[in-house]
């Protein structure tokens, strides 16, 4: 299993697209934080709100770009059948792909910690920040990325085309992030607005961004992860039916 994780990481970082994806993520988040309108310098407030507002939308494209080759490439090259003959269950194969993709997301997020340090040193007085809220936002980002990763792995198992897998993952991630909130805003749903919104990622991510780690939010993210990971295992098992 660990060999498969290492293979996935080397396969992504060994390609030009891997470096481009991570660079674009850091470039976009940096531009929104320091350059584009409503940035930290213009607002006069020492916080990372612009980063955590835009990061989910950037991850919506970044994570599918990381996961799109997970199973699609295996199916295209015909190595998936060989992989399934290894002494690994379908679930362990899925988990290996999932953990490798999550490690790559963490690699992309780690350099953003320099933004935290930069804003902290610019604050007056120094480090006059809502560090609890920032830490909660980072935890929320990791949970959000974990859901996007599970969705991306699932999409990759559906088709041998990496482009199609990318588009399916982006669509599903968008539905989970904003789709339920958009549907809940229709007047026809009335009292159901709250429950419908709670099905989406945004409400739980916003809750964590306030620095409150609620068990209900954690269970929600873990539940979404489990749903798509098990769905991916089912798709793999269906190839032998």
Of residues 93 and 123, more confidence is placed in 93
pLDDT digits (tens, 9 = 90+) for 147-175: 999 999 999 999 999 999 999 999 999 99
For the segment 112-133, the average pLDDT, to the nearest whole number, is 83
When mean pLDDT is compared across 12-16, 29-33, 185-189, 198-202, the lowest value belongs to 185-189
Look up residue 171 and give its two tokens. 């669509």
For the segment 49-72, the average pLDDT, to the nearest whole number, is 89
Mean pLDDT of the chain: 86
pLDDT, position 241: 61
pLDDT, position 187: 65
Of residues 225 and 13, more confidence is placed in 225
For the segment 195-213, the average pLDDT, to the nearest whole number, is 86
pLDDT, position 201: 92
pLDDT, position 9: 78
Alpha-helical runs (H) found in the chain: 2-13, 16-34, 40-43, 49-67, 72-77, 80-84, 90-109, 113-122, 131-156, 162-174, 180-184, 193-197, 201-209, 215-238
For the segment 46-72, the average pLDDT, to the nearest whole number, is 88
For the segment 6-34, the average pLDDT, to the nearest whole number, is 80
Q: Given pLDDT bands bounded at 50, 70 and 90, which one contains residue 133?
A: confident
Distance CA 230, CA 233 (A): 5
Cis omega (within 30 of 0) for bond into 89: no
Q: Taking 70 as the threshold, does the pLDDT of residue 190 lie above it?
A: no
pLDDT digits (tens, 9 = 90+) for 88-117: 788 999 999 999 999 989 988 999 899 888
Distance CA 63, CA 153 (A): 10
Q: Taking 70 as the threshold, does the pLDDT of residue 62 lie above it?
A: yes
Q: Given pLDDT bands bounded at 50, 70 and 90, which one contains residue 145?
A: very high
DSSP class per residue in 149-193: HHHHHHHHTT-S-HHHHHHHHHHHHHIIIIIHHHHHTSGGGGGGH
Q: Given pLDDT bands bounded at 50, 70 and 90, which one contains residue 222?
A: very high
pLDDT, position 56: 92
2, HSE (Cβ side, Cα atoms, 13 Å): 0
pLDDT, position 220: 95
Q: Taking 90 as the threshold, does the pLDDT of residue 82 lie above it?
A: no
> Any idea which residue has 């089912």 for tokens?
234
């Amino acid at each position: 299993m660990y060999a498969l994780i290492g293979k996935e990481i080397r396969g992504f970082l060994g390609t030009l697209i891997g470096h481009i994806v991570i660079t674009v993520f850091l470039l976009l988040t940096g531009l929104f934080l320091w350059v584009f309108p409503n940035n930290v310098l213009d607002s006069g407030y020492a916080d990372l709100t612009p980063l955590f507002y835009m990061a989910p939308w950037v991850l919506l494209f970044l994570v599918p770009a990381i996961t799109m080759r997970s199973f699609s490439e295996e199916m295209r090259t015909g190595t998936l059948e060989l992989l399934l003959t290894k002494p690994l269950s379908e679930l362990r194969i899925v988990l290996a792909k999932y953990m490798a993709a999550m490690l790559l997301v963490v690699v992309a997020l780690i350099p953003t910690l320099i933004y935290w340090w930069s804003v902290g040193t610019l604050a007056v007085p120094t480090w006059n920040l809502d560090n609890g809220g920032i830490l909660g936002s980072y935890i929320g980002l990791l949970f959000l990325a974990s859901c996007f990763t599970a969705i991306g792995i699932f999409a990759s198992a559906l088709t041998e085309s990496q482009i199609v897998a990318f588009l399916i993952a982006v669509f599903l991630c968008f539905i989970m992030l904003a789709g339920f909130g958009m549907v809940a805003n229709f007047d026809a749903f009335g009292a159901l607005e709250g429950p419908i919104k709670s099905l989406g990622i945004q409400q739980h991510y916003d809750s964590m961004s306030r620095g409150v780690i609620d068990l209900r939010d954690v269970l929600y993210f873990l539940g979404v992860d489990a749903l798509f990971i098990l769905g991916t295992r089912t798709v793999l098992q269906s190839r032998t039916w």
